[in-house]
């Protein structure tokens, strides 16, 4: 009998799931490990945070995913140690797994950029728990403001990348159209949405005309734009800029970049900028070619934007290279095919930029954005649920657009 390769995939994000699919088809014995029992569709976390969707709409059980293939198993555990010389990984529950090949796709975490008070006084939006916490806090603060227990519910979003723009645009629409109906006791001057960005424009990777279009769309929705402003500190009730300006903030949303988790440094693997693991062009570790890295944690010589598409393509590539290595074939360098980038600003408003230069904005780009995001969701139920939620949020009555509580 031919011994099948044992592959451990750590991380059930875009990269880990893509690698698992490829490895499952190759016949390898795959164990998919994640600290959570579910995979999260991160591009829609802002919808969870703004009560447009429930947590179950953007999550999918990894055991259900693994059950598609007889040679794949799922396991809930958090990685604590990588022992390359022993070809073994150990987990926080005291157990471990031996491997022939290892795929590290654990992702990254919030980068607080050493800004004073940012970790203590602001909320990130990187995980499902982050989004749920932000939603609960917003709901509680609005209730307290309506009842007179709080003076205000001002929101400051720090960072005008795609996540920050999507958060700010959606919150501004809720403030303008929904809150006056659901919380009529709250006066307009008791709420506001401010977007802070150190550059003089939003959506830095996009062409100037798309940046300007997105900024104009945000302004039309009532977002206060503080462009060209650097955050010096975050306090419990304010965001302080480097020029001394204090922006009132009851809820500060931190959407300003990511970095490798501190525990990666204990794995004994080479790291580069942002804590990313340094790799060969084939996405494996030079000193340990049986260890591959995919997704946000993958570093030089091929550092890519920390987005869904690069992670998916890296995951597929890693799975195929391991299958090739098992058969004695050489591994090949990774080559990224850029399909373009897109971001939504709010109802019927988005920007899209394809790799060959074509751009799109407004309603057509928004419809493309919805189609692409629904297509990448795991599970038919999630796709139907998300479509219905999009329809209800943007075509249903204003009073029901922030009604999700779980």
Output the 3-class SS for 336-392.
CCCCCEEEEEECCEEEEECCCCCEEECHHHHHHHHHHHHHCCCCHHHHHHHHHHHHH
- For 405, half-sphere exposure in the C-beta direction (CA atoms, 13 angstrom radius) is 4
Pick the residue with more confidence: 287 or 307?
Answer: 287
Using one digit for the tens of pLDDT, what is the confidence trace for 58-86? 999 999 999 999 999 999 999 999 999 99
Q: Which of 84, 131, 32 is nearest to 289 (CA)?
A: 84
Q: What is the maximum alpha-carbon separation in the chain?
A: 74
Using one digit for the tens of pLDDT, what is the confidence trace for 36-55? 999 999 999 999 999 888 89
pTM as predicted:
0.91
Q: What percent of the chain has pLDDT over 90?
A: 79
Cα separations in angstroms, 48 against 125, 132, 159, 194, 219: 10, 7, 19, 20, 23
Q: What percent of the chain has pLDDT over 70?
A: 97
Q: Which domains does the chain have, with CATH numbers?
A: 6-35+77-108+260-326 (3.50.50.60), 118-258+340-400 (3.50.50.100)
């Amino acid at each position: 009998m031919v011994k099948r390769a044992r592959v451990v995939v750590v991380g059930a994000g875009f990269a880990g799931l893509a690698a698992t699919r490829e490895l499952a088809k190759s016949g390898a014995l795959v164990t998919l490990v994640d600290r959570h029992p579910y995979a999260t569709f991160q591009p829609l976390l802002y919808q969870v945070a703004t009560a447009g969707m429930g947590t179950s709409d953007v999550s999918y059980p990894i055991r259900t995913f693994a059950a598609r293939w007889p040679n794949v198993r799922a396991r809930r555990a958090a990685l604590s140690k990588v022992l390359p010389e022993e070809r073994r990984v150990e987990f926080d529950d005291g157990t471990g797994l031996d491997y022939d090949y290892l795929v590290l796709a654990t992702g990254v975490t919030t980068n607080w950029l050493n800004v004073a008070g940012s970790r203590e006084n602001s909320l990130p939006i990187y995980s499902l728990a982050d989004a749920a916490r932000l939603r609960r806090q917003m709901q509680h603060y609005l209730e307290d403001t309506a009842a007179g227990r709080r003076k205000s519910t001002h929101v400051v979003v720090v960072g005008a990348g795609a996540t920050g723009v999507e958060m700010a645009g959606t919150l501004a629409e809720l403030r303008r159209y929904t809150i006056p109906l659901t919380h009529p006791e709250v006066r307009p001057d008791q709420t506001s949405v401010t977007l802070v960005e150190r550059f003089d424009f939003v959506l830095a990777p996009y062409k100037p005309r798309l940046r300007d279009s997105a900024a104009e769309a945000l302004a039309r929705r009532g977002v206060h734009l503080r462009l060209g402003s650097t955050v010096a500190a975050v306090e419990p009730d304010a965001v302080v800029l480097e020029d001394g300006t204090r922006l009132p903030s009851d809820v500060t949303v931190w959407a300003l970049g990511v970095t490798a988790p501190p525990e990666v440094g204990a794995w004994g693997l080479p790291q580069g900028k942002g804590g990313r693991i340094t790799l060969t062009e084939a996405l494996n570790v030079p000193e340990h070619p049986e260890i591959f890295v995919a997704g946000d944690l993958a570093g030089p010589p091929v550092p890519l934007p920390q987005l869904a598409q690069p992670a998916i393509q890296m995951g597929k590539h890693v799975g195929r290279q391991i299958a090739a290595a098992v058969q004695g074939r050489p591994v090949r360098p990774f080559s990224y095919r850029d399909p373009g980038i897109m971001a939504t600003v709010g109802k019927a408003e988005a920007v899209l930029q394809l790799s060959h230069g074509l751009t799109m904005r407004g309603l057509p780009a928004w419809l493309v954005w919805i189609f692409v995001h629904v297509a990448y969701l795991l599970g038919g139920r999630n796709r139907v649920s998300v479509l219905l939620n999009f329809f209800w949020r943007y075509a249903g009555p204003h009073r029901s657009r922030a009604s999700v509580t779980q």
